[in-house]
Amino acid sequence: MHKYIICGPQGSGKGTQSRLLSQAHDFVHISIGDMFRWHMQHHTKVAARITRIMHSGHLVSDDIVEKVVRERLEQHDFNYGFVLDGFPRTRPQAEYLFENWDVDRVIYLDVPDEIVFERVMRRAKQGLGSGFTKRADDNPAALKVRLEEYYTKTKPLLELYRQKGRLLTVDGTKTISEVYSDVSKALGLSPLTPAADLLASVEANV
């Protein structure tokens, strides 16, 4: 079983790379943001507690996140493994994960701050979210909050991953195909299908 975490700032390509990896190797892609958006579309009890906070760009509280993640991971529906996208984002979330799951590698998509700001602001102007769907939290005010949350709470976790010997840093400024190929090589996975073919099919399914 392969157990990976993918992390990086907004606009680093986490969603795209986790979809590519999962599709190529039959891993289950677990995106906490997508799970929350599902709850909002279906007006669940969880939705009532997260909608306002998510739209503001702030992080949802650890207890709600932990519950949703625990229920998801307890399904054990992974044949070959999973890629966790957007979790952990805080120290308590990381501690919960490492106490319960033996994570193989944390893939960090490294993108310099100035490129992050440029990509994020372009996204805000276009009103486009990851996967090219419009997101309520892709407006300048919410994006600013999301970046602040990332730099103050999520980025410091890299030090923990490094100490645990799990951190894999990949240059996230390259093209989608190049990043995918670098990640595959570093994880010792053969890319199987050329990234361009995979990308076309992934984009067709978002």
**H or E segment to which residue 70 belongs:** helix 62-73
Q: Using an 8 Å Cβ cutoff, are 37 and 24 in contact? A: no
CA gap 168, 6 in Å, rounded = 10
Q: Does residue 19 have an active-site annotation?
A: no
Choice between 4 and 36, CB closer to ligand AMP: 36
Q: Which residues bind ligand AMP (CB under 6 A)?
A: 32-33, 36, 54, 57-60, 65, 86-89, 93, 137, 146
What is the distance, to the nearest Å, from the Cα of residue 179 to the centroid of all Cα atoms in its chain? 15
> Of residues 37, 89, 105, 166, which has the active-site annotation?
89
What tokens appear for 20 in the block? Answer: 């590519």
Q: Does residue 89 have an active-site annotation?
A: yes
Choice between 148 and 197, CB closer to ligand AMP: 148
Choice between 137 and 182, CB closer to ligand AMP: 137
| Residue length of the chain | 206
Residues 6+ apart with CB under 8 A from 68: 32, 35, 36, 46
> Of residues 19, 37, 146, 166, which has the active-site annotation?
146
We find the least distance from the C-beta atom of residue 129 to ligand AMP, in angstroms, to be 8
**H or E segment to which residue 7 belongs:** strand 2-7
> Of residues 37, 105, 135, 166, which has the active-site annotation?
135
We find the least distance from the C-beta atom of residue 56 to ligand AMP, in angstroms, to be 8
We find the least distance from the C-beta atom of residue 33 to ligand AMP, in angstroms, to be 2
CA gap 111, 121 in Å, rounded = 15
Choice between 59 and 198, CB closer to ligand AMP: 59
**Catalytic residues, which ones?**
14, 89, 123, 135, 146
